Amino acid sequence: MKLKIALCSAIITISALSPAQAADNCTSSRVYLNSRCRQSLPLDKPQKTDTSNYTETVAIIPDGRFYQYQAGQGIYQVKYNYTGRNWTHADVAPIHIDTDKPIAILPIQYTANGMQPGASVNGVPIGRVWNTITVIEMKRRLEALGFYVLTPTIQMYGENLNGFQALEHFIAGVHKGNSHVQTIVLTADAHVANAANPRPGAQMLVTGLHSRDLWWEYRIQSRIMPFYQQQQLYNIGPRVRGGQSNKEGHSLAWHPMIERAAEYNPNVAIIEVAQAVEIVQKAGSIQAGRVWATPLFDAIAWAMAEHACALGANLDNICQNGVLKSDL
């Protein structure tokens, strides 16, 4: 079946952290990097805060193989091998979660240092702040719908190359060890076009090396389309990034986080909500972005629930005969 997705765009984003987490002006585009605002964001150590109500067991499954590297703590531990060769493949021990719930992974991939700061507004990187806010908003919605939600961050493993290896292998390990896993990263794009990103803005980066799940892509895009139309922002929709370089980490290469996880399950994507400057222009500020983006967060969460229902996941209060009760 050929799925045709018509998209107009728009998006938006962010919102302020609560006063207990950071003062409002810490999320403004101009002063967020001052010394007080460089303190830990609320999801830096989720292994201590996210598991208080969890009864599910998260375990690395012994498979009789030796793994050279081990990283992470608590439910975010991972074991893997990495040689630098065949880097789009994740040689990782499966990580199994003893749950009948569908699983969502909401990673934070942006750093406070210069390793991967993300897009900038007025010269100030907003990648980590925006990524954190979207994780907070999506986690709340998905847990309310009945998902088991993991929120791994680069800060758990280290803001360096080894840390990225561990984070990416952890995500792949969960995809390898479970069915009904969906991984979404909501980001803000840069505004300068280049060979790797010829049309910056709203888009959904998906696997280019493995079979894509077109139904998953369609469900997400069809639900977010009204938001983009209302905001009058152009949305490219699903797009494959990479394949033009063999160097790991190069902007023209395959995205390692996407490809490593997609080998085991293609439901992994980086969704650029919009250009970072568009978010500020549309919302007025980073603080106002949370409310502005509410319809987008809602739409993505419901699309993920719709997909889980279609695959037979256990969402008793949401699903009926493989479809959302709200769609009946």
Residue 53 lies inside a defined structural domain of this protein: no
**Lowest-confidence pick of 33-47, 197-211, 213-227:** 33-47
Q: Decide which of 220 and 318 is more confident.
A: 220
The one-letter amino acid at 225: M
Is residue 35 scored above 70 in pLDDT? Answer: no
Is residue 172 within 8 Å of residue 255, measured between CB atoms?
A: no
What percent of the residues of the chain are helix, what percent strand, and what percent coil, each to the nearest 5?
35, 20, 45
Domain hosting residue 215, numbered range: 58-311
Question: What pLDDT score was predicted for residue 32?
Answer: 30
**Mean pLDDT, the chain, as a whole number?**
86
Q: What is the CATH number of the domain that holds 247?
A: 3.40.630.40
C-alpha 313/C-alpha 181 separation (Å) is 10
Model confidence band, residue 47 (pLDDT cutoffs 50, 70, 90): very low
Handedness of CA 185, 191, 196, 197 (dihedral sign): positive
Is residue 42 scored above 90 in pLDDT? Answer: no
Name the domain count of the chain.
1
Please give the radius of gyration of the chain, using alpha carbons only, rounded to the nearest integer: 19
Is residue 279 scored above 70 in pLDDT? Answer: yes
Residue 123 lies inside a defined structural domain of this protein: yes
Average pLDDT over residues 233-241: 96
Is residue 8 scored above 50 in pLDDT? Answer: no
C-alpha 203/C-alpha 7 separation (Å) is 10
Average pLDDT over residues 88-97: 98
Residue 186 lies inside a defined structural domain of this protein: yes
Question: What pLDDT score was predicted for residue 201?
Answer: 97
Residue 3 lies inside a defined structural domain of this protein: no
C-alpha 81/C-alpha 320 separation (Å) is 42
Residue 125, beta-bridge partner list: 120
What is the per-residue pLDDT across 116-137, written as a single tens digit (0 to 9) for each? 999 999 999 999 999 999 999 9
Model confidence band, residue 40 (pLDDT cutoffs 50, 70, 90): very low
**Lowest-confidence pick of 46-55, 138-147, 247-256:** 46-55
Secondary structure (DSSP) of 130-186: HHHHHHHHHHHHHHHHT-EEE--BHHHH-SSHHHHHHHHHHHHHHHHH-SSEEEEEE
C-alpha 251/C-alpha 248 separation (Å) is 9
Residue 27 lies inside a defined structural domain of this protein: no
Question: What pLDDT score was predicted for residue 130?
Answer: 94
Question: What pLDDT score was predicted for residue 289?
Answer: 83
Residue 202 lies inside a defined structural domain of this protein: yes
Average pLDDT over residues 163-190: 98
Residue 94 lies inside a defined structural domain of this protein: yes
State the pTM of this model. Answer: 0.85
Residue 326 lies inside a defined structural domain of this protein: no
For residue 196, give the DSSP letter. S
C-alpha 24/C-alpha 19 separation (Å) is 7
